[in-house]
Amino acid sequence: MPTILKIRIILFSILALVIIFLIYKALSPFGEITYTAQPCGNSFFIQKLKPKDRVSGDCQNIITGDPVYFNLNTQRTFNQAEVKINYKNSGHNKIVEIGIMADERKNYRLKPLDNIILDNLNWNTLEKDGIYLFQKENNYNSIDEFLNKIPDKNEILTYFYDLPPQKELSELKKFEPTLSSKNRTATRLIENDLRGPYQFYTYTADGILEFEFLFSDLNINKDADNIKIVVYDLENNIMAQREMQDERGGEETRNTVNAEGLHLDLTNLKKGFYKIELITNDDIITTQIPASQKIVAFINRIWLAYSSNTDLITLFSDASEVTASTINPQALQKILVNKDVLNLSETYKQFSLPANEGVNTIKFAKNDVIISGSGVFSFSKEELYNPNYKKLVKNTNLEDINYIITTYQPDKTNDDWQTKTLTFDLKNSLWYENNYGFIISVPSLISDDNVNDYIEVGDIEIKLKGRSLLDKVKELINF
- Residues that bind another protein in the complex, under the rule CB under 8 A: 3-4, 7-8, 11-12, 14-15, 18-19, 21-23, 25-26, 44-45, 73, 75, 434
C-beta of 9 vs 238, nearer to another protein: 9
3-state secondary structure 352-363: EEECCCCCEEEE
Q: Are 146 and 405 in contact (CB under 8 A)?
A: yes
C-beta of 47 vs 407, nearer to another protein: 47
C-beta of 78 vs 200, nearer to another protein: 78
Cα dihedral sign, 430-436-441-445? negative
In the DSSP assignment, the letter for residue 347 is T
Single-letter code of the amino acid located at 23: I
Shortest distance in whole angstroms from residue 439 CB to another protein: 22
C-beta of 3 vs 141, nearer to another protein: 3
DSSP state letters, 40-83: T---SSBPPPB-GGGEETTTT-EE-SS-EEEEEE-SS--SEEEE
| Cα distance between residue 209 and residue 264, in whole Å | 7
Q: Are 346 and 340 in contact (CB under 8 A)?
A: no
Q: Are 251 and 223 in contact (CB under 8 A)?
A: yes
Pairing of strands 321-325, 360-364: unpaired
Taking alpha carbons only, the member of 444, 456, 450 closest to residue 350 is: 444
Backbone φ and ψ for 382, nearest 5 degrees, come out as -70, -25
3-state SS assignment for residue 85: strand
C-beta of 22 vs 238, nearer to another protein: 22
Q: How many Cβ atoms sit within 10 Å of the Cβ of residue 435? A: 16
C-beta of 44 vs 479, nearer to another protein: 44
3-state SS assignment for residue 69: strand
Shortest distance in whole angstroms from residue 45 CB to another protein: 7
Q: How many residues does the chain have?
A: 479
| Cα distance between residue 369 and residue 446, in whole Å | 19
C-beta of 17 vs 341, nearer to another protein: 17
In the DSSP assignment, the letter for residue 27 is H
3-state helix, strand, coil in the chain (%, to 5): 15, 40, 45
Single-letter code of the amino acid located at 339: K
Shortest distance in whole angstroms from residue 426 CB to another protein: 18
E strand or H helix at 310: none
C-beta of 27 vs 365, nearer to another protein: 27
Shortest distance in whole angstroms from residue 459 CB to another protein: 19
Shortest distance in whole angstroms from residue 7 CB to another protein: 5
| Cα distance between residue 87 and residue 458, in whole Å | 5
Cα-trace Rg, the chain? 26
